[in-house]
A and B are shown apart, each in its own frame.
Chain A
Amino acid sequence: MPWPSPESINLDRVKEPPSLDHPLGTDTKGRDILSRTLYGGRVSISIAVSAAFLSTIIGLIFGLFSGYFGGKVDMLLMAFVDLILSFPTLLLAIAISVLFPPGIYTVVIAIIATGWASFARIIRGQVLSLKEANYVEAAKAMGCTTWRIIAVHLMPQCIPVVLVVMGMKIGGYILIEASLSFLGLGAQPPMPTWGSMISAHRAYIASAPWMVFAPGFMIALTALCFNVLGDSLRDRFGLKIRL
Chain B
Amino acid sequence: MKGYLIKKLFLLIPLLLGVTLLTFLLAKALPGDPVLSMVGERAQPEVIEKIRKEIGADKNTIEQYFGYIALLLHGEFGRSYYTNREVFRDILLKFPNTFQLAFTAMIIAIPLGTGLGFLSAYRKDTLTDRVISAVSVTGLSVPVFWSGLLIMLFFSLQLKLFPPSGTGDLRFLVLPSLTLSLPALGTLARITRTTVLEVMEMPFIKTARAKGIREVSIQTRHVLKNALIPIVTVIGLDFGSYLNGAVLTETIFGWDGIGRFTMEAIIKRDYPVIMGCVIAGTLIFVTINMVVDILYHSLDPRVRLGE
Q: Which residues of A contact B (CB under 8 A)?
A: 79, 82-83, 86-91, 94-96, 98-99, 171, 175, 178-179, 182-183, 195, 198-199, 202, 205-206, 209, 212, 215-217, 219-221, 223-224, 227-228, 231, 240, 242
B17 closest partner in A (C-beta): A83
Tell me, yes or no, whether B235 is within 8 Å of chain A by CB.
no
Q: How far is the CB of B75 from chain A (nearest CB, A)?
A: 21
B230 adjacent to A242 (CB under 8 Å)? yes
Among the listed A98, A209, A242, which residue makes an inter-chain contact with B194, where contact means beta carbons less than 8 Å apart?
Answer: A242
Count of inter-chain pairs, beta carbons less than 8 A: 119
Within 8 A of A (CB), among B193-222: 194, 198
Tell me, yes or no, whether B110 is within 8 Å of chain A by CB.
no
Among the listed A79, A89, A182, which residue makes an inter-chain contact with B241, where contact means beta carbons less than 8 Å apart?
Answer: A89
The CA of A96 and the CA of B22, in the complex, are separated in Å by 11
The CA of A206 and the CA of B154, in the complex, are separated in Å by 9
Within 8 A of A (CB), among B238-276: 240-241, 244-245, 247-248, 251-252, 262-263, 266, 269, 274
B281 adjacent to A88 (CB under 8 Å)? yes
Q: Which residues of B contact A (CB under 8 A)?
A: 14-15, 18-19, 22-23, 26, 29-31, 137-138, 140-143, 145-147, 149-150, 152-153, 157, 191, 194, 198, 230, 240-241, 244-245, 247-248, 251-252, 262-263, 266, 269, 274, 277-278, 281-282, 285-286
Among the listed A179, A206, A220, which residue makes an inter-chain contact with B248, where contact means beta carbons less than 8 Å apart?
Answer: A179
A198 adjacent to B153 (CB under 8 Å)? no
19 more CB-based (< 8 A) A-B contacts, given A216-B146, A223-B141: A82-B15, A86-B285, A95-B274, A96-B26, A98-B31, A171-B140, A175-B141, A178-B145, A179-B145, A179-B247, A202-B145, A202-B252, A205-B152, A206-B157, A209-B153, A220-B146, A223-B142, A242-B191, A242-B194
A198 adjacent to B145 (CB under 8 Å)? yes
Which chain B positions have C-beta within 8 A of A240? 198
Which chain B positions have C-beta within 8 A of A99? 26, 29-31
Give 10 closest A-B pairs by Cβ, nearest first: A216-B146, A223-B141, A88-B244, A224-B141, A220-B142, A206-B157, A83-B18, A219-B143, A182-B145, A88-B241
Among the listed B23, B149, B241, which residue makes an inter-chain contact with A198, where contact means beta carbons less than 8 Å apart?
Answer: B149
The CA of A181 and the CA of B140, in the complex, are separated in Å by 19
Which chain B positions have C-beta within 8 A of A79? 14
8 A-B pairs within 8 Å (CB atoms) are namely: A88-B245, A98-B30, A205-B157, A216-B145, A220-B138, A220-B143, A223-B143, A228-B137
Q: How far is the CB of A197 from chain B (nearest CB, A)?
A: 10
B285 adjacent to A183 (CB under 8 Å)? no
B277 closest partner in A (C-beta): A91
The CA of A98 and the CA of B244, in the complex, are separated in Å by 18
Q: How far is the CB of A129 from chain B (nearest CB, A)?
A: 17
